[in-house]
Each structure stands twice: as C-alpha cells, then as structure tokens.
C-alpha cells in the first residue's frame, strides 16, 4: 500500500526550449551645416530628437542571437522593412488589439543578409535609414489617397530561420519591430530597443510524493505491525514464495505506466524487423511518447513492445513466470 500511495507519478511541465534575442543600436551622422554640431560629428543613441537639417540619415545595426538549451545549427536570413500604416482612420478604438488598419504599405531597406549560426553565435545586420525619404514616401501615399492622417512608421527586421534546434528540425519566422516617430522637421527613436522571445516545450517530470500522501500508508503500516504482533503468538505465519513477492513488487512498480499500455500480441514476423532491446519499461514508455506510439503488452510472453519505422523496440519482463521467449 505504501508503494501504491508513493509510487512514481509524472506531470507536464513547461520549460524554455530556446530564446531569440534581438537588439537595435543606431547613430546619426551630422552631414549638414547647422548651429549645433560640427559637420562629421556622430550623434549617438538617446537624444530627444534628431533634426532633418542636421542629421537626415541614421545608421542602424540589428544584432540577433539564438540560445538553445543544447544545440543550434541554423541558416538565418534577415531583411529590414519600413512599414507605414494608418490605424486611426477606421474603428472606434485608437489603441489595443481591437484597432483596425485603414491602410498599410511596406518596402524593404537595403539587401537581405544571411548567415549560418551555431548556439549563441551573433548575427549583425547593418542598414541606413533615409528619414526624409521615408517621410516623402508616406506623404505620397496620403496624397494619392487624398487622405491626411497621422500614420505610424515602424522599422521591422524579419528573421527567417531553418535548420536544427536541440537536434530537431525547425522552420520559423520572428519579427522585431520598433516605432519611429517622424514629424515635419525632426524624428525620434524609442528607448526600448531590445527584445527577448522565449519558445517553450512541454516535458514529463517525476512528481515527488507529498508528506500528506505518505502519512496514510505509514499509519496503516504501524496498525498492521500491531495486528501482526498480536497474531504471532496465536498462529504461525505461512512462508510466502519469494518469487510471488517479487512478482507483486514488479506489478506495483509498473502500475504507474498502465495508462500508456495496451494489450496485444507480438507480431509473428518479428524476425523480419530490426530489433532494439530497451533496458526498462520506463525507457520504453518514454521512447513511445517521443515517437507518438503506444506501448503494447503481450501477456503470454511477458514482452512490452512498440513498432516504429520497421523497427521493433522491446522490453522483456524477465520476472514473469509465463514468459516464453
């Protein structure tokens, strides 16, 4: 009863499989005569505003890294887009997910860049933004639509990746977007320029029995000890077959896997299959979970097995008296 109450049990737990990190840095060169800065000066990040008449262009770097729990082997492509849109012309909500896009236009900045990344490698994509040109293209859309609004301008770096993460094939896309506030005479950049995108996976972990779970079987054990002590003088206890005890212990140990096992019969053509012996029933159940298969128990032979891709994965329960090999 103690083993039944405190036997191995499992629960689903969400853990991080890999993390993508993206970060923007920028600076604006002073290219026009002005009363504030000498020409050739480079204005670094964090200024409240950058004026068209002082530094109309901005040099930007996007730094990307993918950290996996075990390994990374990816081909990565990065392209940067300018996305102009009006989110105020339609719908009552002006903020939030319920906001509707009235119009939107995207175009690419520079050429796409690619790299091959291992775990924790850094990939950098550099590009230059011509702010007056972005403003001009946005204004042209409004003029052609005969519609004046306060459009939103976003700098979006699109990362396409393909390869292996933690030994598994993956293909995915991740966007890293920052807004750019462009007025008639100056532009501003946001303070938040770093992003962390976690990807999770579900795993089965063993649960430890709680103290409250253990109390009841211990109480029964103590009560049983008292009863046995009272019966010993009256009746000589019959010796139990050790093989029978071993069989009961084995059935108790395997009871936690019942929900993953079905009854069946091992196929007659087993000799034509590649046979892989598994050292324990727990390992066989875990393998079946990874292969999206179900464990079959042949009660006649005492064998547990799964068949996957013309291979027979088998655990032979040597404790079963009915085992016939």
Q: According to the model, what pLDDT value does residue 238 have?
A: 54
Which residue, 164, 191, 206, sits at the end of a domain? 206
Residues 262, 196 share a domain: no
Q: According to the model, what pLDDT value does residue 316 have?
A: 82
Residues 139, 17 share a domain: yes
**CA 57/CA 150 separation, integer angstroms:** 22
Cβ atoms 13, 202 nearer than 8 A:
yes
Evaluate if pTM is beyond 0.75. Answer: no
Residues 50, 156 share a domain: yes
Q: According to the model, what pLDDT value does residue 246 have?
A: 63
Q: How many CB atoms lie within 10 A of CB 66?
A: 26
User: Residue 121: which residues within 8 A CB-CB, separation 6 or more?
Assistant: 65, 66, 72, 115
Residues 27, 106 share a domain: yes
Residues 139, 57 share a domain: yes
Give the domain extent around 143: 10-88+101-206
Residues 135, 15 share a domain: yes
Residue ranges of the chain with pLDDT lower than 50?
91-94, 237, 321-325
In a domain, 289, yes or no: yes
**CA 298/CA 303 separation, integer angstroms:** 5
In a domain, 220, yes or no: no
Q: According to the model, what pLDDT value does residue 210 have?
A: 63
In a domain, 247, yes or no: no
Please count the structural domains in the chain: 2
Which residue, 206, 234, 268, sits at the end of a domain? 206
Q: According to the model, what pLDDT value does residue 92 have?
A: 46
Among residues of the chain, what percentage have pLDDT more than 90?
A: 51
Residues 287, 162 share a domain: no
Residues 193, 47 share a domain: yes
In a domain, 148, yes or no: yes
Any idea which residue has 């887009």 for tokens? 81
In a domain, 78, yes or no: yes
In a domain, 240, yes or no: no
Residues 57, 143 share a domain: yes
Q: According to the model, what pLDDT value does residue 91 have?
A: 47
Q: According to the model, what pLDDT value does residue 115 have?
A: 96
pLDDT tens digits for 135-186? 999 999 999 999 888 899 999 999 999 999 999 999 999 999 999 999 999 9
**CA 231/CA 39 separation, integer angstroms:** 103
Residues 269, 180 share a domain: no
| CA-closest candidate to residue 82, choices 202, 180, 208, 149 | 180
Residues 187, 53 share a domain: yes
In a domain, 175, yes or no: yes
In a domain, 236, yes or no: no
CA dihedral 297, 298, 301, 307 (to 10 degrees): -80
Residues 304, 167 share a domain: no
Cβ atoms 10, 225 nearer than 8 A:
no
The DSSP bridge pattern shows strands 274-277 and 311-316 to be parallel
**CA 15/CA 253 separation, integer angstroms:** 28
Q: According to the model, what pLDDT value does residue 322 have?
A: 45
């Amino acid at each position: 009863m103690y083993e039944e109450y405190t036997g191995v049990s499992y629960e689903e737990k969400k853990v991080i499989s890999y993390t993508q990190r993206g970060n923007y840095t920028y600076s604006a060169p002073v290219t026009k005569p002005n009363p504030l800065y000498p020409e050739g000066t480079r204005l670094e990040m964090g200024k409240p505003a950058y004026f068209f008449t002082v530094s109309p262009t901005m040099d930007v770097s996007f730094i990307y890294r993918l950290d996996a729990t075990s390994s990374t082997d990816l081909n990565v492509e990065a392209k940067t887009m300018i996305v102009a849109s009006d989110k105020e012309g339609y719908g009552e909500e002006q903020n939030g997910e319920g906001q509707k896009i009235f119009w939107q236009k995207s175009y690419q900045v520079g050429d796409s860049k690619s790299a091959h990344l291992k775990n924790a490698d850094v990939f950098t994509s550099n590009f230059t933004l011509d702010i007056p040109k972005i403003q001009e293209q946005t204004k042209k859309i409004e003029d052609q639509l005969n519609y004046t609004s306060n459009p939103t301008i976003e700098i979006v770096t699109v990362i396409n990746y393909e390869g292996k993460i933690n030994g598994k094939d993956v293909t995915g896309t991740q966007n890293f977007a920052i807004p750019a506030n462009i007025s008639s005479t100056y532009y501003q950049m946001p303070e938040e320029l770093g992003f962390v995108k976690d990807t999770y996976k579900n795993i089965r972990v063993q649960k430890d029995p709680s103290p409250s779970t253990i109390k009841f079987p211990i109480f029964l054990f103590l009560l049983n000890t008292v009863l046995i002590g009272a019966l010993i003088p009256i009746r000589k206890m019959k010796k139990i077959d050790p093989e029978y005890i071993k069989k009961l212990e084995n059935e108790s140990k395997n009871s936690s896997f019942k929900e993953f096992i079905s009854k069946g019969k091992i196929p007659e053509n087993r000799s034509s299959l590649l046979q892989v012996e598994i050292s324990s029933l727990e390992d066989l159940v875990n393998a079946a979970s990874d292969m999206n298969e179900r464990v079959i128990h042949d009660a006649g032979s005492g064998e547990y097995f799964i068949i996957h891709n013309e291979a027979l994965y088998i655990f032979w329960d040597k404790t079963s008296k009915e085992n016939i090999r």
